[in-house]
Structure 1
Amino acid sequence: MVSERGQVHTLEAIVAGLLLMSSIVFALQMTAVTPLSASTSSQHIENQQEASAAGVLATAARNDSLRETVLYWNSTESRFHGATVNGFYTRKLPTELGRRLQQTFGDRGIAYNVYVTYYKSGRPQRKPILYRGEPTDNAVSAGKTVVIANETRLLHENMTRGPRVNNSNFYADKNGEGPVFDVVRVEVVVWRI
């Protein structure tokens, strides 16, 4: 009787060990660590990308190239100068902001889109200025506002001053009374390729 109990306990221990080992193997197969898995290092990279985008926008706001980009509008064709028939750029942005974004992100395997948010008929609208594709889940963004006054002029293709902004020749509408035509927000969305 004692020998039968010992065999049963031994068999029980072996089965329990196999069960434990197979559950560990199963759990390890279910979780895979990939280069795109969330980690502190990837979070750090995303924080750096967000700070870089914010820095480019702050510099562009200081040297007025952010306003230049917003006003680089072809009122005759209702799109940005030289943009595709969809109304936005797909390769590069031909303003100083575009050159700075290319210097910062262009050769580093980082893609970016540039959007402008404005009001049309009292409702917020978001228009791409530069669109390079759908951002991934690890995309980050930074934004900066630009105040457009009533006397602000659109820019011709050669960057000379054109007509004053108004509801019929610009993508945004005048909001209310007063000296401000509209307040728009330029947003840069950045992600690793």
Structure 2
Amino acid sequence: MRGQAHTLEAIIASLVLLTGLIFALQMTAVTPLSASTSSQHIENQQQSVSEGLLATAVERDALKPALLYWNNSSSRYHNASGSGVGVYASTPPNNTFGAMLERVFDARGIAYNVYIRYRDGSNQGRIIYLYNGRPSDNAVSASYTMTLMDDDHLYDPDGTQNATTLSKAAAFPIPDRGDSVYNTVRVEVVSWRI
């Protein structure tokens, strides 16, 4: 009788342990976006891709023209598709930088936003240049700082410079500091897996 009681006690104890283990596994769901070494590797790779994109855009002289892709008559970026001055909603601008963004991110199924940060006196301002949604918790960012000069020319929709200089631009969203340097901006690309 005593042997049977010990056996029954062992079976009940193993059932309690098994139930606790099942409950614990259900509480910690593992998803493709869960933190792991592989997702950290993907985030590092995305950051490197973003940094490389910005460096290539500067090298190919595509970043500054993208910032100066301003429609002086409508006081907004050329063909901006969203509400607001600088917003391209989910579709990049029709310029070299926009084509680079599409080639690098869209082909890989990576969502991204592009922000322009600038100084306004002692404050910092931000323009949403391109918006594809709210970044996930695993988003990474890369940025490049660039100086805009008063005598930099605006660009037409076909990508050619026009006669209007930045100092004469109507309602340009980045404020002029008041000297020959128009302003210093930081272009930030935030990217994340969909």
TM-score category (smaller protein): 0.7 to 0.9
Instruction: Report if the CA contact (8 A) 2:111-2:191 is conserved.
Output: yes
Deviations 1:3-33 (A, max 9, x none): 55x5554444333222212111211222222
1:86 is aligned to 84
- Tell me: CA distance 1:122–1:164, structure 2 relative to 1, closer, same or farther (3 Å): farther
Distance 2:178 2:63 in 1: 23
1:169 is aligned to 171
Distance 1:75 1:19 in 2: 72
Where do 1:20-169 residues align within 5 Å? Answer: 20-84=17-81, 85-87=83-85, 88-90=87-89, 91-120=91-120, 122-158=122-158, 159-166=160-167, 169=171
Identity of aligned residues (%): 47
The secondary structure found in structure 1 opposite 2:192 is strand
Which is greater in Rg?
A: 1
Distance 1:174 1:129 in 2: 18
Where do 1:170-189 residues align within 5 Å? Answer: 170-175=172-177, 177=179, 179-189=180-190
TM-score, normalisation: structure 2 = 0.86
Task: Give the number of aligned pairs.
Answer: 189
Distance 2:112 2:66 in 1: 16
Distance 1:25 1:10 in 2: 23
The amino acid that maps onto 1:185 is: R
TM-score, normalisation: structure 1 = 0.87
5+ residue gaps, structure 1? none
Deviations 1:108-154 (A, max 9, x none): 21121111112335421111111122222221111111101122222
RMSD over equivalenced CA pairs, Å: 2.1
